[in-house]
Amino acid sequence: MTSIPLAAISAWHPQAPLQRVHFDWLAGVELAVLRLDLIDPLISGNKWFKLAPHLRLAAERGAAGIVSLGGAHSNHLHALAAAGQRFSFATVGLLRGHPQNTPTVQDLQGFGMQLHWLGYGGYRERHSPAFWSPWHARYPGFTAVPEGGGGLPGALGCAQLPAMVAAQLPALGWDDYHGWWLAAGTGTTLAGLVVGEGGRRTVHGALAVPLDHGVPEQVRSLLSEAGVSDAGYRLLDACRGGFARQDAELLAFMTQCEAQSGLPLEPLYTAKALLALRDAIGRGEVEAGRRLVFVHTGGLQGRRAALGNASGS
């Protein structure tokens, strides 16, 4: 059985372009977008940066492959399966719910990921101590990566993003900027940015899930594990009634933003984060002349189904 190729994974340093964008609602706020959606045609978005440290740790241990979890539209499983195909290692996906043939699932199969559907009850058991033993027995030597590529390794993989922005500021004509704005799901990416910033700039996380779903606690615990002070960030509710909820105002706003900027968006994360920014500007919380970096966290593969009636993560 082949193992995970550490050298090839460590040698791949995808660069995300930093681009100025204009929307008619910015009211003098200046915005640049870090296009994580453009790092690769298949391995897209923040999920690669969260995944890479997990893959390196697994490779160092000589793991035979990676097993992880997600829904039928999961951006995380999509990036993992694409990475497995690219770097020739085995991947197993444990899926929430009952077999569905979404575009994401078709891609996972095409990338060679082995899929198992756990049902809803089975998926809810994923945090119980006994959950993993049958999977470790079935896939000996595989390393389990947490849902979404979370945990401290996932966060630290995102701590390099401020340096990626810094390297591109001169070309943008910016000497500096004031803060970050991004969609947050588990808050792992946000925590990584806070670590990378070391308190210099505020990181604003627009939550795609309700505030009472444990994200503030999760961010606090990641920062404490990283030995970094629990400051320098702000979480705001941007979920508009629940994860994957889509309303007419959101969809119209997304279409309008895409037309004004040429930036492709999806309704679960990036469009909700921008709408939350528009509203914050409207409330006077972000003043004219402020320069923000918006992280385009990707997720466009999920859009194929998200614009229908599906929900996922």
Ligand X SMILES: *Cc1c(COP(=O)(O)O)cnc(C)c1O
Active site residues: 74
- Tell me, what DSSP letter sits at residue 279? H
Site track 123-152 with ligand X (rule: CB under 6 A), x = hit? -------------------------x----
HSE at residue 297, side-chain half, CA atoms within 13 A, is: 33
The Cα-based distances of 69 to 75, 124, 135, 191, 218 in angstroms read 11, 11, 12, 21, 18
Q: Give the one residue of 153, 187, 196, 312 binding ligand X; rule: CB under 6 A.
A: 187
Min CB(269)–ligand X separation in Å: 3
- Looking at the chain, the number of H-run helices and the number of E-run strands are 14, 10
Count other Cβ atoms within 10 Å, centred on residue 104.
26
Whether the Cβ atoms of residue 93 and residue 80 lie closer than 8 Å to each other: yes
Instruction: Please report how close the Cβ of residue 288 comes to ligand X at its closest, in angstroms.
Output: 27
Closer Cβ to ligand X, 93 or 187, answer by number: 187
- Please tell me the distance from the alpha carbon of residue 94 to that of residue 101, in angstroms, as a whole number: 15
The verdict on 181 binding ligand X (CB under 6 A) reads no
* Cβ-based neighbours of 45, under 8 Å, separated by 6 or more: 36, 37, 39, 75, 79, 296, 297, 298, 299, 300
70 binds ligand X (CB under 6 A): no
Q: How far is the CB of 301 from ligand X (least distance, A)?
A: 9
Candidates 33, 77, 156, 183; binder of ligand X (CB under 6 A) is: 183
* Smallest separation (angstroms) from ligand X to the CB of 36: 8
**CB-closest chain residue to ligand X:** 299
Stretch that binds ligand X, among 59-67, 172-180, 184-192, 254-262 (CB under 6 A): 184-192
Chosen residue from 19, 168, 186, 301 binding ligand X by CB under 6 A: 186
Q: Within positions 199 to 218, which residues make up the interface with ligand X, using CB under 6 A?
A: none
Q: What is the CA radius of gyration of the chain?
A: 19
Give me the residues that bind ligand X (CB under 6 A), please.
45-47, 75, 148, 183-190, 269-270, 297-299
